[in-house]
Amino acid sequence: MDHFQYQGGELHAEGVPVELLAEQFGTPLYVYSQATLLRHLGQIQEAFAEANPLICYSVKSNGNLALCRLMARHGSGFDVTSAGELHRAVLAGAPGRKIVFAGVGKSREELVRALQVGVFLFNVESEEELHFLGDVARELDLPASVALRVNPDLPPKTHARTDTSVKGVKFGLDIETVLDVARGVLGHAHLRVIGLHMHLGSPILSAEPYRQGAAKAEMLVGELRRMGHPIDVLNMGGGFGIHYRKQEALPAHAFAAEILPVVKRLGCRLVLEPGRFIVGNAGILVSRVLYRKESGGKRFIIQDAAMNDLIRPSLYDAFHRIWPVKLPAGATSPPEDYEADIPGTVAVDVVGPVCESGDFLARQRALPPLLQGDLLAVFSAGAYGMAMASNYNSRPRAAEVLVDGSAFRLIRRRETLHDLVAPELDAMAGW
Ligand code: LLP
């Protein structure tokens, strides 16, 4: 459930007509609903409340500072994966004790910065990283709290490019090796192995992998404790799916039902790293139709958002609902189920201006008849939309707006042509 609804035939973000935002800020435009964001954060907080978890919003899903600040104000910590994301979390007001740091390739500079910030957990992904972190921590004489990230080797559960817990991916320690790796740092003066980390993949539409993963974690935590590591943190990562096509996502309670019993039995502190679940349905991408054309027996809608604004369809063949911001005469509200036949529509490819055949937001999609200048809303674009946007084809990145009831404000200005060339001009200044 989100707060993007049609009222009188016009899409509104909470109390604000989306057309008004497009006119004021231009397109392509990301529009976020604060109520939706907080609602989804609240759903996770509530579903897992009995474990009093540390919820660490995954900055990679959408690192906009205003959104991160909002999350921090509502009690969230942060899952970061680079110095840049750590910078965002700190600027958002998070104390180190509410930040966890994952990623297979943390550089020395990143480790130093995270040690200085005093992050709650380093989610360590390899034996070499663990020893290197130990060396850096010793040099700085700062303690490093570690959760060993394990790859539980589960059956495929989502798109191959984003499944992080099958054999042969780069993430985590192979489950067979975790104990040996842990044994190697017993008694280390600066490393405290206090947790186990597992991020299964994303997005996941079933609770079963969490049941299987948590069972493997329970077994490992027991063995690590017997070895002498004081494990009291279980970090189950993120990955909870959202609605893209229809109401396909599970409620947070379904995941909690599999995770909480294990947390309880272990008496561990629970950490979660949700990104998409919180921000995914809280954002739409608004674009404007530039041209229509037919080619090779197909109809194309060429609009001003492209793969550089939202790469998920090109990269993962991801499905995002798309519907006109203003319902044309005779058109119905957006369908509940996009897989069903939708009367009054024509099949079109929704494409952008980028010079690649792979630049599309949807292919053979049933849409009501559209005119030049019409606005389109691409739904469920809050996560991994702007976060993965680029300047490809020297396109300035879109603006972002946050709506709260009937109020709204710009939270990232549209990039300018100068922004595009500024680093080059800086480098060439002395020529
Ligand atoms: N924790 C770790 C260690 C992760 O790697 C990720 C996501 C998360 C948490 C958050 O997962 P979430 O709750 O947002 O599902 N670009 C892809 C998704 C890549 C996910 C990367 N890691 C997409 O657009 O679908």
Ligand 1 mean position, distance from CA 268 (Å): 23
- The answer to whether 200 and 156 are in contact (CB under 8 A) is no
Place 330 in a pLDDT band, splitting at 50, 70 and 90.
confident
pLDDT at site 257: 98
Ligand 1 mean position, distance from CA 275 (Å): 7
Which one-letter DSSP state was computed for residue 124? E
pTM metric for this prediction: 0.97
Q: Domains along the chain?
A: 4-31+280-423 (2.40.37.10), 63-274 (3.20.20.10)
Nearest Cα to 17, choosing from 250, 216, 245, 286? 286
Q: Is the pLDDT of residue 1 over 70?
A: no
Closest protein CA for atom 20 of ligand 1: 202
Instruction: Give the C-alpha separation, 335 to 320, whole Å.
Output: 13
73-115 pLDDT, tens per residue? Answer: 999 999 999 999 999 999 999 999 999 999 999 999 999 999 9
3-state secondary structure of 118: coil
Ligand 1 mean position, distance from CA 237 (Å): 9
Give the lowest-confidence range in 14-28, 149-163, 266-280, 368-382.
Answer: 149-163
355 is an active site residue: yes
Task: Fill in the amino acid letter for 408.
Answer: F
Query: Residue 51, Cα to own-chain centre: how many angstroms?
Result: 23
Percentages of the chain per state (helix, strand, coil), in multiples of 5? 35, 25, 40
Structure tokens at 154: 């589960």
Ligand 1 mean position, distance from CA 24 (Å): 32
Ligand 1 mean position, distance from CA 201 (Å): 7
Q: Is the pLDDT of residue 336 over 80?
A: no
H or E segment and range at residue 272: strand 269-272
Place 6 in a pLDDT band, splitting at 50, 70 and 90.
very high
Where do we find the tokens 């191959």?
160
Q: Average the pLDDT over 23-38 and give the result.
A: 98
Rg, Å, the chain Cα set? 23
Atom of ligand 1 nearest to the CA of 241: 15
- 55, 58, 158, 204: residue to mutate for ligand 1 pocket, most atoms within 8 A of CB: 58
281-325 pLDDT, tens per residue? Answer: 999 999 999 999 999 999 999 999 999 999 999 999 999 999 999
Atom of ligand 1 nearest to the CA of 164: 5
Ligand 1, CB cutoff 6 Å, lining residues: 58, 60-61, 79, 102, 162, 199, 202-203, 237-240, 273-277, 312, 316, 383-384
Q: What is the distance in angstroms between the CA of the first residue and the CA of the last residue of the chain?
A: 55
User: Rounded to the nearest 5 degrees, what angle is found at the Cα of 348, between the Cα atoms of 346 and 350?
Assistant: 140
Where do we find the tokens 């396109």?
395
Closest protein CA for atom 9 of ligand 1: 238
